[in-house]
Each structure stands twice: as structure tokens, then as C-alpha cells.
Amino acid sequence: MHYYMPYDVPEQKKIRLIINTDAKNEADDQFAIVHALLTPRFKIRGIIAAHFGTHRTNESMLESYRECEHVLSLMKMASKVALYKGAERAMPDEATPVHSEGAELIIREALADDPTPLYVVFLGPLTDLASAYLAEPAIAGRFTALWIGGGQWPKGEREFNLLNDIDAANVVMASPIDLWQVPRDVYSTIRTSLAELALKVRPYGEIGHYLFQQMLEVNEAGASNPRFPKGEMWALGDSPAIHLLLDDHAYHFELKPAPRFTKDMYYVHYQNERMIRVYNYVDSRFTLEDMFAKIALFHACSE
């Protein structure tokens, strides 16, 4: 059996996973991180703390790092999962990488002599991926990147993860890196209510209580914002990054020519050779119920 679950996964079905997360930006990254940590299919090679711009703080990466430390501490996994610092800021242009421990980890794992497939999920900006590629282009073709980001196809729109490093997104789109994109109109469908979270997450140990409580705090902090959050519900938009590595939804994506992004975050469709996978649907109930079950099982085996 898996250490945290009453079952395990055949070794041949397992994958290596790196999680790149702007964890302190709001309240949904934490759910995706916990879900990943409790999933037996994943051999987690590290968590990279990502920046989330400078709109609220000049130390956003360090805030994400400390948040990841806190989540790992609550789950008593601080000694089991390696944590790395990502770039402190966005790339200054499309030619200049921002070096970091996180970019080095991506390079190291991509070039490792390990037949286990490698996936790197990005729950925030693509700074560390673009920087790793610019520093070592040989990593392309040796892993799959999954990005929660970008606006609705085909026009585009303002989208937070893209906003925080448009240059990095353009580097990745122009590269030969295998990329799965989950755009905003798709990731925003992972809807849950505070009532559901109170029932299915809050009762299950320190981590369950924290996941629920920090969402209440972010909800209260945004009380004066007329658009977000909405008050009694949340879209756990980062969770598809975990779910799609359990089931890749073979009938719910299209291969599309990779675009460029304008500075106001619209798509520019200019070529037909470099293709990426763009999702048009994720199963929200599968995503949420698997996470709820794993949190409850983790609590049961921890008692």
C-alpha cells in the first residue's frame, strides 16, 4: 500500500512530477498541492515556489515559499518533499532568463537518466520554465509541461498567470516544449462552495482545517472587490493540473498552433507548425471528489 493511501499504483504507471506554484497568491494552489502530495501515482521531485508579480508585494516568491513550507509542515512532510525557490521576478524580455533553484531543478530532472515520464505543472507564471529552456534548450522533448493559464480561445483576455510574465509565456509558446494549456474559461469551471468545503475538507485534521480557514481569510480580504471572490463559492482553478495527470481527458482537448501573446494578453495566431494541447473541458466532479477522498483517507491513516 501507499504510505498515505490504502492502495498503491503499479510502478509502470507512475510519473515524476514537479509542482511550480505561486502558492500565496490566493487560496486554490494549496488544494492542488495537497491533492498532488496524496496521489500515489506521483513521484514528486520537488515543489518550486513561484512569484506572482508585484501588485501586492515585492517578495511574492518568498511568500509562496513560506506558504509551501507551512503546508508541508501541517502535513508532516517537510522532510519528505524538497522545496525550491523559483525566480523572484518576471523575465525582463524574451531573451533573458531569470536563474533560480527552480529552473535548475527542471533542467536536472529533464536531463536525468530516468525512464519514468516527467511532468512539470505550472500553477502561476511560466518564468521558471522559460528560464530553464533558455539556459538549456536540450530539455525540450524530455518532459511535458502543463500550464494553468491564458485566456479563452481564440481571442484571449486578461488572465492573472499570463499577466505575471507575458515574455516567459511567449518563450514557451515558441519553443518545442511539449505543452498542455488549460485556459481560464476551462480552469474556472472547477466550482465548489464554502458549504461543501466545510463538510468535505474542514473536518479532516490540521491540513483540512487550514485549507478551509485560509480560504475564508482570502474571501474576507477581497470583500470590497465587486468581482472576485464571489462570497460563497470558489473556483479551484489550479486543480486540473493534478486531475489531468490522473486522466488526460483524451476527448476533451485539441491540438492547436501555438500563438503569441500581445501585451494586453490577446492571442496572435501566426503559424501552423508548432502545436500545443489546449483543453476545452475538465471533469470538475472527478477532480474534486478524488481530492476530498484523499484528504479524508490521509486523515484516517494519520490518526
List, for residues 98-107, the tens digit of each pLDDT value.
Answer: 999 999 999 9
Residue with cell 505561486: 22
Residues 258, 270 contacting (CB under 8 angstroms)? no
Residue 128 — pLDDT band, cuts 50, 70, 90? very high
- CA proximity to 241, closest of 233, 249, 232: 249
Give the model's confidence band at 220: pLDDT under 50 very low, under 70 low, under 90 confident, else very high. Answer: confident
Q: Above pLDDT 70, what percent of the chain?
A: 99
Alpha carbons 129 and 27: distance in angstroms, whole number: 23
Secondary-structure percent of the chain, ordered helix, strand, coil, rounded to 5: 40, 20, 45
The answer for residues whose C-beta is within 8 angstroms of residue 95's C-beta and 6 or more apart is: 134
In DSSP terms, 257 is beta-bridged to: 275
* Angle, alpha carbons 51-143-187 (nearest 5°): 55
Cell of 169: 509565456
What is the spatial distance between Cα 218 and Cα 154, in angstroms, rounded to a whole number? 31
pLDDT digits (tens, 9 = 90+) for 247-270: 999 999 999 999 999 999 999 999
What pLDDT is recorded for position 223? Answer: 76
Question: How do residues 69-99 score in pLDDT, each as one tens digit?
Answer: 999 999 999 999 999 999 999 999 999 999 9
Q: What pLDDT is recorded for position 259?
A: 98
The yes-or-no verdict on residue 17 having pLDDT over 60 is yes
At 225, is the pLDDT very low, low, confident or very high (cuts 50, 70, 90)?
confident
pTM as predicted? 0.97
| Rounded Cα gap, residues 107 and 129, in angstroms | 9
**Average pLDDT in the 236-247 region?**
97
Q: Indicate whether 4 pLDDT > 90.
A: no
User: Which letter does DSSP use for residue 167 in this model?
Assistant: H
Please, what is the average pLDDT of the chain? Answer: 96
Instruction: Give the pLDDT score at 229.
Output: 77
By CB atoms closer than 10 A (0-12, 13-18, 19+), residue 18 is buried
Q: Average of pLDDT values for 48-61?
A: 95
Determine the pLDDT at residue 1: 54
Strand, coil or helix: 15: strand
Band of the pLDDT at 177, cuts 50, 70, 90? very high
Amino acid 237: pLDDT: 96
Three-state DSSP class for residue 129: helix
Sequence letter at residue 3: Y
CA distance 157 to 177: 23
Distance CA 184, CA 59 (A): 25
